[in-house]
Amino acid sequence: MSHSHHMVTNSVDHTSTMPPSHHHPATSASHLHGGGDGNMMMMMPMTFYFGFKNVELLFSGLVINTAGEMAGAFVGVFLLAMFYEGLKIARESLLRKSQVSIRYNSMPVPGPNGTILMETHKTVGQQMLSFPHLLQTVLHIIQVVISYFLMLIFMTYNGYLCIAVAAGAGTGYFLFSWKKAVVVDITEHCH
């Protein structure tokens, strides 16, 4: 019985700046990426590296091969991460401006020396079938997609691109969140 259809051909380009790959015949196929036609197979790095040769960025046709392309990708990823942070703050601001119904509820609570105090709670709501809610929904979808793009970029393990994600997110937070009083952000998605 022939097992030749299970064989995986691995070739390593030693001129690349990617780290050397360790191949194991039984497991290396699970780490291979290839185009739709099955002709091109690339080894996905599983450790951080600094290089700019054959770096796939989100799509198979978007491959970085020069230092200039890496510099351009760095700037683009940096700006995308900054935009992501700005989008989060913009959504919060829009939400505050679009709150349509404010209701005050008062309830008696026991006070000192047997007195009764009235405690007032402000309830803010929004209508589901409204333009502000539709806009928030579209912006949320954009925010989620960008957060997954940033996660996938970080998962290339390319040091330059990882630094661009972190530096862009940090700069965006610094520029857009300085008025924000909340320390813990519960709207985080993937980073």
pLDDT in tens, the chain (191 residues): 444 444 444 444 434 444 444 444 444 444 444 444 555 556 677 888 898 888 888 888 889 999 999 999 999 999 999 999 999 998 888 877 776 555 566 677 777 877 777 777 665 566 677 777 888 889 999 999 999 999 999 998 999 999 999 999 999 999 988 776 554 555 565 55
Residues 6+ apart with CB under 8 A from 32: 8, 41, 42, 43, 44
Q: Where does residue 82 rank: exposed (0-12), middle (13-18), buried (19+ CB within 10 A)? A: buried
Report whether 99 contacts 124 (CB < 8 A): yes
Confidence at residue 141, expressed as pLDDT on a 0 to 100 scale:
95
According to DSSP, the β-strands at 59-64 and 55-57 are antiparallel
For residue 79, the model assigns a pLDDT of: 97
pLDDT of residue 123: 59
pLDDT of residue 9: 43
Report how far residue 27's alpha carbon sits from residue 53's, in angstroms, rounded to the nearest whole number.
24
Q: Are 167 and 78 in contact (CB under 8 A)?
A: yes
Pairing of strands 55-57, 32-34: unpaired
99 with 125: CB under 8 angstroms? yes
Each residue of 126-140: pLDDT tens digit?
A: 667 777 788 888 999
Letter string b/e over residues 149-176, b meaning 16 or more CB atoms within 10 A of that residue's CB: bbeebbebbbebbbebbeebbeebbeeb
- With a threshold of 0.75, does the pTM exceed it? no
pLDDT value, residue 96: 76
Report the C-alpha gap between 152 and 145 in whole angstroms. 11
